[in-house]
Structure 1
Amino acid sequence: MGGQWGDLDQDTAICTVKAALDAGVTFFDTADAYGLELGTSEMLLGRALRGSGDNVRIASKVGNWGRRLGIPMEITHPLHIQPFCDATLYRLGRDTVDVYFCHLGGQTQADIWIEGFERLVKQGKVRTWGVSTDRLDVLEAFNRNGQCGAVQLDYSLVNRSAEAKLLPYCLQHQIAVVVRGPLGMGLCSGRYTPESTFNDQVRQKWNEGPGHEKMSQRLSVVERLRQLANRRTMAQAALQFVISHPAVTVPIPGAKSIEQATDNAAAGSLGPMDEAELAWVREVTG
């Protein structure tokens, strides 16, 4: 929501969220730095979920506001996090954010963040906190006292690297795993070919050079998995694979239409893949 993933008018964005909600989705993810205009994603999500009840959970992230603006805005004191949190709550129209992530995936100096997050928990503004990262050393730093409640990491049919260290660590330490990119930024949907081009801010890098080479490699993996769509959509198969890992708590697939939102939500009723299918998928994806 907010335009970074291409043209999507606000009414369609709100209707898409409401469709997901109607289909049984109760966990939504955003960040203060999401949107071509910063804060737009939180604002639209808050508007879409207004009056949705107490069973809906929202995660947001903090730390990338300055980078998106091109202005140095480092968190150098625990109290620096609070105004960002207050602004997030205002845009969401809520008193509490359920999961609050540090958005800086390379941040190994975690003490300031931990203290800042714990202050917000005591104030009732945050229920639990964590870090969005694909690095074990970063997660270990945030969990140095066993306080980290959640991690957001990349995991999909086309990127299984989290299986090596991150997911086992989360199982061992009972850290909730929120999976971003469970559809491989859309590649696992089966809708794209190596000739596809993108005009959105996030995927323009795939149009040429190393980005295009990486995209083509991942699409070749998806092509070898086509038979998964015999009794479900490719997107549903991709989500089913992700939730089959015992460490995964919830995936957060993107959707740009009511149809995509309801298709994604339907994957939840499929349950985990059976062991035979999982073994085949692992063999094909390497």
Structure 2
Amino acid sequence: MPSRRHFLQGGISLAALAALSPWLSTGALSAGAPLLQRTIPRSGEMLPVIGLGTSQTFNVRLDDASLAPLQQVIETFFAGGARVIDTAPSYGAAEQVTGELLKRTSNQDRAFLATKLSSTGRARGQAQFEISQEALQRRNIDLVQVHNLQDTSTQLGLLRELKQQGLVRYIGITHYVESAHDELIAVLQREKDIDFVQFNYSVGERGAEQRLLPYCADHGLATLINRPFQRAALLSRVKDRPLPDWAAELQATSWAQLLLKFILAQPAVTVVIPATSNPRYMADNLAAGREPLPDAALLKKIVEAFA
């Protein structure tokens, strides 16, 4: 992954970075406008729009040297008012690392934890859920999703049982490629009690604008957006270019913030979940989750900048 220092244009802002010093001060990000929040349609619960993905970045050894920078990420995350952390058993040690860091930082009760089932068969799904409970150090999980539509009907049946038992609060489905969007919609049309859908959407992958985002808006579905930077491919396109003057209209101080604000301009987006292992990048991402968001003219400029 290319170094993001080329894209930060000095970070979120000199004042904000100074306040964070070194990204850990309690409430350090609260000096500016608060994070935007959006509603989970099924319940009315509000969630901050910037979350945290853990794929690859949290798959590290459970030792102090490996955990130290990630602990700073978690502390910056909560200091900035965020809550949603998305992980999965298939992300290696990410669930264990997440659970350990939430314990170390005393944030177990503040986190909105989302994980996944990626098993075939009910028994394996049940065993996987119990392993997730142990790894995350939480009996009750906020959101459990069927990962990449694997054995969808069986796993959704299990999740309904876990929800009735009070062990899961919300259930969902996920995918990460545009070619699966029609299949996501087909499942949503068939299974009417799904609360969340997670999928890819970005300046470089805009297919969700055609059917999936409108469907979610029309049918009261919460959305988690993955791959906002396309694994840094979008940032690579602009690595040698200065931030355009019009970015100031959005109070954006990095290319990453423009990419996140582009996504958040869609009202059907509930939370976007960029992954990072760097506390400075975490702070930069959080700065994107505040007003103002781009109007149609600025959205067009963002698209053109990454074309």
Partner of 1:84: 128
Instruction: With a CA cutoff of 8 Å and minimum separation of 6, indicate the structure with the bigger relative contact order.
Output: 2
Deviation at 1:88, TM superposition (A): 0.3
Equivalent position SS for 1:259: helix
Q: 1:161 to 1:224 in 2, by over 3 A?
A: farther
Does residue 306 of structure 2 align to residue 264 of structure 1? no
Deviation at 1:23, TM superposition (A): 1.5
Q: Residue type matched to 2:72 in 1?
A: C
Does residue 114 of structure 2 align to residue 75 of structure 1? no
Is residue 130–residue 142 contact of structure 1 (8 Å, CA) maintained in 2? no
Does residue 270 of structure 2 align to residue 281 of structure 1? no
Is residue 247–residue 258 contact of structure 2 (8 Å, CA) maintained in 1? yes
Equivalent position SS for 1:9: helix
- Cα distance in 2 between the residues matched to 1:284 and 1:156: 13
Deviation at 1:44, TM superposition (A): 1.1
Partner of 1:244: 265
**RMSD of aligned Cα (Å):** 2.7
Deviation at 1:111, TM superposition (A): 2.2
CA offsets 1:75-114 (integer angstroms, 9 cap, x no match):
23x3432111111011111111111111124x4x632122
Equivalent position SS for 2:115: strand
Equivalent position SS for 2:298: helix
Does residue 111 of structure 2 align to residue 56 of structure 1? yes
Partner of 1:161: 207
Q: 1:9 to 1:117 in 2, by over 3 A?
A: same
Deviation at 1:246, TM superposition (A): 1.2
Deviation at 1:11, TM superposition (A): 1.8
Partner of 1:203: none
Is residue 58–residue 97 contact of structure 2 (8 Å, CA) maintained in 1? no
Partner of 1:41: 94
Identify the match of residue 144 of structure 1 among 186, 190, 194.
Answer: 190
* Fraction of identical pairs, as percent: 26
Deviation at 1:276, TM superposition (A): 2.0
Q: Which runs of 5+ in 1 are unaligned?
A: 64-73, 193-218
Structure 1 residues 1-286: aligned runs within 5 Å: 9-35=66-92, 40-50=93-103, 51-52=106-107, 54-63=109-118, 75-76=120-121, 78-105=122-149, 107=150, 110-133=152-175, 134-188=180-234, 190=235, 192=236, 219=237, 226-227=243-244, 229=247, 231-282=252-303
- Cα distance in 1 between the residues matched to 2:55 and 2:215: 34
- Cα distance in 2 between the residues matched to 1:172 and 1:161: 17
Is residue 62–residue 84 contact of structure 1 (8 Å, CA) maintained in 2? yes
CA offsets 1:112-134 (integer angstroms, 9 cap, x no match):
12211101101211111111124
Q: 1:247 to 1:6 in 2, by over 3 A?
A: same
Report the TM-score when normalising by structure 2.
0.70
Equivalent position SS for 2:204: coil
Q: Residue type matched to 1:111 in 2?
A: S
Deviation at 1:186, TM superposition (A): 2.0
Q: Which runs of 5+ in 2 are unaligned?
A: 1-53
Number of aligned residue pairs: 240
- Cα distance in 1 between the residues matched to 2:189 and 2:258: 32
- Cα distance in 2 between the residues matched to 1:259 and 1:285: 23
Is residue 182–residue 238 contact of structure 1 (8 Å, CA) maintained in 2? yes
Q: Residue type matched to 1:14 in 2?
A: Q
- Cα distance in 2 between the residues matched to 1:99 and 1:6: 20
Q: Residue type matched to 1:96 in 2?
A: N
User: Which stretch shows the higher mean deviation, 258-267 or 16-25?
Assistant: 16-25
